[in-house]
Amino acid sequence: MATMETENKKRAGNRLSAVKLAAAAACSLAGAFVLAGCQTVQGFTATALVRVIDASYIAPAANVYIEKAIFAGNIGQGFISNYSAVTPSEAAVVMVTPVNGTSPSQSAAVTLNAGSQHTIFITDNGQSPTQYVVTALLDQAISSPSGHSTFRFLNQAPRTGAVDVYMVPGGSELADTIPLCTDLAVGATCGYVSFASSTLTMVITPTGTVTPKYTSTALALTGGEVRTVVIVDSQLTTNPPVQALIADDAD
């Protein structure tokens, strides 16, 4: 009898151990899926991903600091950095300073969320003396669904003014295409806009016209792409009068 009771206790203990192991495995698997959204998992601290896009029109070359640490140096209009990991913060201090000290520095306290992607977007006030304008954008980090692409558009072209944005399929005419964004004012954002993937041409026109200010090369979009497009005035030429800076958010 004692032997049977001992055996039953041993079996119960084995079943309990198996349950504990299964629970631990389930927790580990769940943790793998939600790790990006967690602050801490068994000693791992999640980070925020940050990049810099400089769309300043007349502001001078700049250095960018996040919490007093240099993040990007000697940058100007058209600069797009890769994403880098930084410590999450609800009020991270971002400072933009001129490389040669020719204009005032500008700082802003921005939210950088753990497990998220952000853009430090640098523009200027278009006035003299020039001053940087610092904004933090929350970027889409998840790829588009199969067969679709997603684009966001930011207008920083003060000479051109408000614009319409088209994605023209191969073999189609601009006049037969519906614009993705209409009357996109200077300083405004249009996005994220999802559309069927194919080989397309991006065309940017002044609002209400079909006279292109910018026409891209053919964009072979296969699906999953997420992009940010910054529309800026050409600085030294009038052909084309507008340029489009394209940044990769996700694939």
Tell me the per-residue pLDDT of 167-209, one tens digit each, with 9 for 90 and over. Answer: 999 989 999 999 999 999 999 999 899 999 999 999 999 999 9
CATH number, position 169: 2.60.40.1120
Separation CA 238–CA 227 (nearest Å): 26
Residues 154 and 126 placed together within one structural domain of the fold: no
Nearest to 58 by CA among 114, 14, 103, 124: 124
Tell me the per-residue pLDDT of 78-131, one tens digit each, with 9 for 90 and over. Answer: 999 999 999 999 999 999 999 987 778 899 999 999 999 999 999 987 766 678
Q: In this predicted model, which residue has the larger pLDDT, 30 or 191?
A: 191
Nearest to 61 by CA among 44, 45, 76, 50: 76
Residues 206 and 153 placed together within one structural domain of the fold: yes
Q: Are 242 and 233 in contact (CB under 8 A)?
A: yes
pLDDT classification of 60: cutoffs 50, 70, 90 = confident
pLDDT classification of 222: cutoffs 50, 70, 90 = very high
Residue that is written with structure tokens 């209409």 in the block:
182
Q: Is the pLDDT of residue 37 over 70?
A: no
Nearest to 124 by CA among 101, 162, 96, 99: 96
* Over residues 216-231, mean pLDDT: 96
Structural domain includes residue 239: yes
Instruction: Determine the Cα angle at 151 with ends 160 and 52, to 5°.
Output: 75
Q: Is the pLDDT of residue 233 over 80?
A: yes
User: Which structure tokens are listed for 75?
Assistant: 């940058």
Cα of 145 vs its chain's centroid, Å: 17
Give the dihedral sign, CA 53/59/63/64.
Answer: negative
Strand partners, 127: none
Q: In this predicted model, which residue has the larger pLDDT, 156 or 2?
A: 156
Separation CA 19–CA 54 (nearest Å): 54
Q: Is the pLDDT of residue 75 over 70?
A: yes
User: Which structure tokens are listed for 159?
Assistant: 């000479």
Residues 171 and 242 placed together within one structural domain of the fold: yes
Residues 92 and 76 placed together within one structural domain of the fold: yes
The parent domain of residue 159 ranges over: 142-251
* Over residues 13-39, mean pLDDT: 39
Residue 104 confidence (pLDDT): 81
Count of structural domains within the chain? 2
Q: Are 232 and 57 in contact (CB under 8 A)?
A: yes
Strand partners, 219: 200
pLDDT classification of 9: cutoffs 50, 70, 90 = very low
Structural domain includes residue 13: no
Task: Count the residues in the chain.
Answer: 251
Q: Give strand ranges (E) for 84-218.
A: 84-86, 89-98, 106-112, 117-124, 132-139, 148-156, 163-169, 181-184, 189-196, 199-206, 214-215
Nearest to 199 by CA among 173, 171, 226, 174: 171
Tell me the per-residue pLDDT of 123-167, one tens digit each, with 9 for 90 and over. Answer: 987 766 678 899 999 999 999 999 999 999 999 998 899 999 999
Structural domain includes residue 24: no
Q: Is the pLDDT of residue 23 over 70?
A: no
Separation CA 216–CA 1 (nearest Å): 86
Q: In this predicted model, which residue has the larger pLDDT, 139 or 9?
A: 139
Torsion-angle region of 191 (φ positive above 0: left; ψ -120 to 50: alpha; else: beta):
left
